[in-house]
Amino acid sequence: MKKNTLPFVYLALLLCLCSSCRNELKRMPDTLPDVHGYIGDIKRTANNGGEAKAVIMVKTIEGLEANYPEASVRIDENTLIEATTGEPLKLEQLREGHEVQAWFEGGITETMPVQGYAKAMRVEY
């Protein structure tokens, strides 16, 4: 009887592990940001399913070494936005002129300006 229950125990453990992975907390990356600069323009977009909620133009801070001189950063419901203090922020709190650091999720287009979806953004305001 013991041999028959062992596969069910493994299956139950596997299901518990899989369900906990979906609830993983969003965290600020511990790497250098892909983009660091000032918000130059914010365009709010309609929320159509998984589409971007906003697109912001980030212009690099003069004298700061950066991968890209400017970037078009798309923000969606999966983007973590925090103040430098660690306080969570909402998209509506972003303003032109705020200093931001952004990390891209997945691929980016190599156009000028570079374009991509933000995984996380740290905002100093």
User: What does the pLDDT look like over 23-56, one tens digit per residue?
Assistant: 456 788 988 898 999 999 999 986 655 566 999 9
Q: Domains of the chain by range and CATH?
A: 35-124 (2.40.50)
Contact indicator for 72, 114 with CB cutoff of 8 Å: yes
**pLDDT at position 22:** 47
Percent of the chain with pLDDT over 90: 54
This prediction's pTM: 0.74
C-alpha dist (Å) from residue 62 to 37, 57, 59, 88, 111: 9, 15, 9, 27, 21
C-alpha to C-alpha distance for 31 and 46, rounded to whole angstroms: 31
Highest average pLDDT, of 3-12, 51-60, 97-106, comes from: 97-106
